[in-house]
Amino acid sequence: MIKGKKVVVIMPAYNAERTLEKTYRAIPLDVVDEVVLTDDKSSDNTVRLARELGIHHIIEHEQNKGYGGNQKSCYNKALEIGADVVIMLHPDYQYEPKLIESMAYLIVNDVYPAVIASRILGKGALAGGMPIYKYVANRFLTLFQNILMGQKLSEYHSGYRAFSKEVLTSIDYNGNSDDFVFDNQMLGQIFYKGFEIAEITCPTKYFEEASSINFKRSSIYGFGVLKVSLLYRFNKWGIINSSIFNAK
């Protein structure tokens, strides 16, 4: 615990056998109380390895639920076991696990209720091997979102993020998409509820074993992001009443 607050790391996994151990070993377990791994019906030995590593909370999906569906199971389990701070870390070793402590302290000390580890702050993204087309798309989408949501984030698309219990219980993340746009919908909900989100610089690594979505899925995600931003603005103007922003 940190100052009496329970810190839980969640790991949404899919075919993560080759990188799970390296990621798990780098987690600062002196400040992390529990680790939750949700396996989205992997075809490899992710679950067996997770057990061998001693991960206590393992959820196995009988059917593939998608990236967003996998996260829902993770967050629900974290809250069920009493988490005060929940940090999502992908088990593909693309993000630096050592930042967990810094992210948790920002929340525990009531500086910010949510934190994103940004690949764009500094030169981490391109230096780490992010494909140029993804970098350009990231910058365009982030600019579009900042304008429509009235924010100043360096990026909305990092999968490394931390939330307080208050944030998670204030939004209806279970009502979001089961696909990749879940991440974006969640940030929109958090801003819509009036919470602030901090950012810290995060070095990233792109390599063969790291998870990545192809150009087609990236394009679908991009259009989904544009839709979320427009829905956010139209809700703020009172033109429409979208369920993802007005639930709870």
Each residue's pLDDT tens digit in the chain (248 positions)? 799 999 999 999 999 999 999 999 999 999 999 999 999 999 999 999 999 999 999 999 999 999 999 999 999 999 999 999 999 999 999 999 999 999 999 999 999 999 999 999 877 677 777 778 888 989 999 999 999 999 999 999 999 999 999 999 999 999 999 999 999 999 999 999 999 999 999 988 775 655 556 777 888 899 999 999 999 999 999 999 998 998 66
- The arrangement of strands across the sheet holding 7-13 comes to 57-60, 34-39, 7-13, 85-88, 161-164, 114-118, 198-201
Q: Is the CB of residue 89 less than 8 Å from the CB of residue 10?
A: yes
CA-based nearest residue to 221, from 133, 129, 146: 133
- CA separation for the pair 125, 131 (Å, rounded): 9
The encoded tokens of residue 218 equal 């990236």
Instruction: Look up the pTM and report it.
Output: 0.93
